[in-house]
């Protein structure tokens, strides 16, 4: 039986980051809504309560029945989770005059406590809360404090309950990984059995059993997720897999041909469909980002459905859906961050069953599985690319000419990045999590080319560093690289006379502009 840590999500933006940190400890975890604890699951070895946008005093604040697991399983409360435990057990949580946000240092640390074993004096942590615990409940004791936060971390005297008001999952808590390792490995007793090799072995066996001799259809996008999904399925069922690659006209420059060529070496049976005319017609005059995504998702299903119906003996539809897709599409607060057209897009009239082999993986785990499967590095290292393609990198309505402009600018940017070798010998493209150009087609900028005045569009370049796209920082690209890219785009791409660079991080910005 595979062990798991349950993370109960109270709506924090960093809940998925907690999940990533647990997975980095070779331990499987599942993120569930705060009110969906699986009380009868014997594989659960520990529970983590996440942060939340709410105050514990808010009438709409999320609450959980702690008796489901307290005293039976080790529990770690983080931020809101720590305050909820304190309030529920008889402590006191009060509003502070100022929001406690940012870096802090632990002034006192009980390194004899198993949660903080190995912590260094003055260890840096990251605070982000408006309430603070002013009194911990009876039967609890403090195990860490900062200059301003007396109850930065506390523990129960007898039961396996720990709580911290800081965020161990974020990069700025320098020993956060150690804290989570102490909890997951030492306290919960994880056997550290979650790995790419174990995932491939288990998943291939499960797919063989699940699919039997049935035929499966898979929609390929050219990205790492669908490519790994296809390779995994190919290993399990071989030529009973048929892949369909739909060109909606908003791929990168020459992408359709490049991707089709790349799949030849994988032994996959791929049907390529050029449906760009349909997509451009249906997107005509549409500028709202969410509407663009919905139209592209709908059209993709229609085109895919039309091709899939020709495969009359198919019983399954496979998708490269990964874990963040499923969680981010609809948060527990009910607020859609962005729609994903590969989530819930199963054509009902096809009567196909859904197969999602990667549904538990984060993006970097998908890449590790790709390496385990022996896939070509050029496919595994491809930067993430949005399903709607350049449609969500063009601000405003979509036209073939705008796509042409952006394709040309983006091609110069990415190709230059692929060919730029940094001082340490590493290719710049491999240092970046995701890069792409954005066309500000609703804006025109004054410029001068030769003796002529121009009135054309600006292009914004975006490049971020990340491990899982849950959080991302803007990449510090070399100045000489930036100068070369800007000069090449302005000189060679008709319709562009200004190049900018986006230095926003996620949060608060998203990686894509739309």
Output the pLDDT for position 376.
86
Residue 13 confidence class, pLDDT cut points 50, 70, 90: confident
Instruction: Quote the CA–CA distance of 347 and 438 in Å, as a whole number.
Output: 32
Can 169 be counted among the known catalytic residues?
A: yes
Output the pLDDT for position 142.
97
Q: Which of 24, 30, 79, 456 is an active site residue?
A: 79
| The pair of three-digit structure tokens given for residue 433, joined into one six-digit string | 């999590």
| The pair of three-digit structure tokens given for residue 212, joined into one six-digit string | 């039997």
Smallest CA-to-CA distance from 358 within 339, 372, 376, 338 is with: 372
Output the pLDDT for position 405.
97
Higher pLDDT, residue 377 or 403: 403
Output the pLDDT for position 449.
66
Beta bridge partners of 465: 473
Instruction: Quote the CA–CA distance of 138 and 156 in Å, as a whole number.
Output: 9
Strands (E), 57-186: 75-78, 92-109, 124-135, 140-146, 153-156, 161-164
Residue 176 confidence class, pLDDT cut points 50, 70, 90: very high
| The pair of three-digit structure tokens given for residue 82, joined into one six-digit string | 């720590």
Laid out side by side, the sheet with 44-49 consists of: 29-33, 4-9, 44-49, 75-78, 161-164, 153-156, 140-146, 92-109, 124-135
Output the pLDDT for position 232.
96
Output the pLDDT for position 454.
72
Q: What is the 3-state secondary structure (H, E, C) of 347-382?
A: CHHHCCEEECCCCCCCHHHHHHHHHHCCCCHHHHCC
Instruction: Quote the CA–CA distance of 28 and 227 in Å, as a whole number.
Output: 23
The pTM of this model reads 0.78
| Angle, in degrees to the nearest 10, between helices 276-283 and 289-308 | 150
| Rounded mean pLDDT, 40-58 | 94
> Residues 197-217: pLDDT tens digits?
999 999 999 999 999 999 999
* Matching residue, tokens 């895919």: 304
> Residues 105-131: pLDDT tens digits?
999 999 999 999 999 999 999 998 778
What pairing do the DSSP bridges indicate for beta strands 44-49 and 92-109? Answer: unpaired
Instruction: Quote the CA–CA distance of 91 and 390 in Å, as a whole number.
Output: 52
Q: Terminal CA-to-CA distance of the chain, rounded, Å?
A: 42
Q: Which of 169, 181, 365, 514 is an active site residue?
A: 169
| Rounded mean pLDDT, 293-321 | 89
> Residues 225-261: pLDDT tens digits?
999 999 999 999 999 999 999 999 999 999 998 888 8
Higher pLDDT, residue 154 or 325: 154
* Residues in contact with 319: Cβ distance below 8 Å, sequence separation at least 6, in sequence order: 218, 219, 226, 229, 342, 345, 354, 355, 356
* Residues in contact with 108: Cβ distance below 8 Å, sequence separation at least 6, in sequence order: 142, 144, 145
Can 112 be counted among the known catalytic residues?
A: no
Output the pLDDT for position 97.
67
Instruction: Quote the CA–CA distance of 345 and 350 in Å, as a whole number.
Output: 12
- Is a pLDDT exceeding 90 seen at residue 351? no
| Rounded mean pLDDT, 327-356 | 55
Can 356 be counted among the known catalytic residues?
A: no
Percent with pLDDT over 90 in the chain = 70
Residue 508 confidence class, pLDDT cut points 50, 70, 90: confident
> Residues 424-463: pLDDT tens digits?
999 999 999 999 999 998 888 777 666 566 768 999 999 9
Q: Which of 129, 151, 156, 167 is an active site residue?
A: 167
Average of per-residue pLDDT values in the chain: 90
- Is a pLDDT exceeding 80 seen at residue 344? no
- Is a pLDDT exceeding 70 seen at residue 334? no
> Residues 385-426: pLDDT tens digits?
888 999 999 999 999 999 999 999 999 999 999 999 999 999
> Residues 142-153: pLDDT tens digits?
999 999 899 999
Smallest CA-to-CA distance from 196 within 326, 26, 355 is with: 26
* Residues in contact with 227: Cβ distance below 8 Å, sequence separation at least 6, in sequence order: 220, 263, 266, 320, 370, 375, 379, 382
Residue 328 confidence class, pLDDT cut points 50, 70, 90: low
State CA 238 to chain mean position distance. Answer: 29
Instruction: Quote the CA–CA distance of 235 and 334 in Å, as a whole number.
Output: 38
State CA 390 to chain mean position distance. Answer: 19
């Amino acid at each position: 039986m595979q062990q798991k840590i349950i993370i109960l999500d109270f709506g924090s933006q960093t809940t998925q980051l907690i999940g990533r940190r647990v997975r980095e400890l070779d331990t499987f975890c599942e993120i569930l809504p705060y009110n969906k604890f699986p009380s009868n699951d014997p594989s659960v070895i520990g529970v983590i309560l996440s942060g939340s946008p709410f105050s514990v005093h808010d009438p709409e604040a999320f609450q959980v029945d702690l008796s489901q697991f307290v005293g039976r399983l080790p529990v770690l409360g983080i931020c809101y989770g720590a305050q909820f435990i304190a309030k529920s057990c008889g402590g006191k949580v009060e509003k502070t005059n100022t929001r406690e946000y940012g870096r802090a240092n632990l002034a006192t640390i009980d390194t004899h406590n198993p949660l903080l074993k190995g912590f260094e004096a003055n260890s840096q942590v990251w605070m982000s809360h408006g309430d603070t615990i002013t009194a911990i409940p009876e039967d609890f004791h403090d195990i860490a404090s900062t200059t301003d936060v007396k109850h930065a971390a506390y523990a129960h005297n007898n039961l396996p309950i720990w709580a911290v008001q800081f965020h161990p999952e974020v990069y700025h808590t320098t020993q956060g990984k150690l804290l989570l390792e102490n909890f997951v490995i030492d306290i919960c007793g994880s056997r550290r059995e979650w790995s790419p090799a174990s995932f491939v072995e288990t998943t291939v066996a499960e797919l063989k059993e699940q699919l039997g001799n049935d035929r499966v259809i898979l929609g390929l996008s050219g990205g790492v997720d669908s490519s790994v999904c296809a390779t995994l399925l190919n290993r399990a069922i071989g030529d009973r897999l048929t892949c369909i690659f739909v060109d909606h006209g908003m791929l990168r420059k020459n992408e359709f041909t490049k991707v089709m060529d790349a799949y030849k070496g994988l032994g996959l049976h791929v049907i390529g469909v050029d449906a760009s005319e349909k997509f451009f017609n249906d997107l005509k005059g549409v500028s709202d980002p969410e509407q663009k995504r919905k139209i592209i998702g709908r059209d993709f299903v229609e085109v895919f459905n039309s091709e899939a119906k020709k495969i009359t003996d198919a019983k399954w539809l496979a998708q490269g859906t990964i874990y963040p897709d499923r969680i981010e599409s609809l948060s527990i607060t009910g607020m859609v961050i962005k729609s994903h057209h590969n989530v819930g897009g199963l054509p009902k009239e096809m009567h196909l069953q859904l197969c999602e082999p990667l549904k538990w993986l984060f993006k970097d785990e998908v890449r590790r599985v790709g390496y385990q499967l022996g896939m070509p590095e050029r496919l595994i290292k491809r930067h993430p690319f949005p399903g709607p393609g350049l449609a969500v990198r063009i601000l405003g309505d979509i036209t073939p000419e705008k796509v042409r402009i952006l394709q040309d600018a983006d091609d110069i940017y990415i190709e230059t990045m692929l060919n730029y070798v940094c001082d340490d010998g590493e290719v710049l493209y491999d240092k970046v999590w995701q890069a792409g150009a954005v066309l500000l087609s609703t804006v025109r900028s004054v410029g001068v080319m030769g003796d002529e005045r121009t009135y054309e569009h600006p292009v914004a370049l975006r490049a971020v560093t990340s491990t899982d796209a849950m959080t991302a920082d803007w990449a510090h690209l070399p100045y000489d690289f930036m100068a070369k890219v800007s000069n090449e785009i302005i000189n060679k791409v008709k319709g562009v006379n200004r190049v900018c660079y986006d230095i926003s991080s996620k949060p608060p910005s998203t990686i894509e502009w739309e």
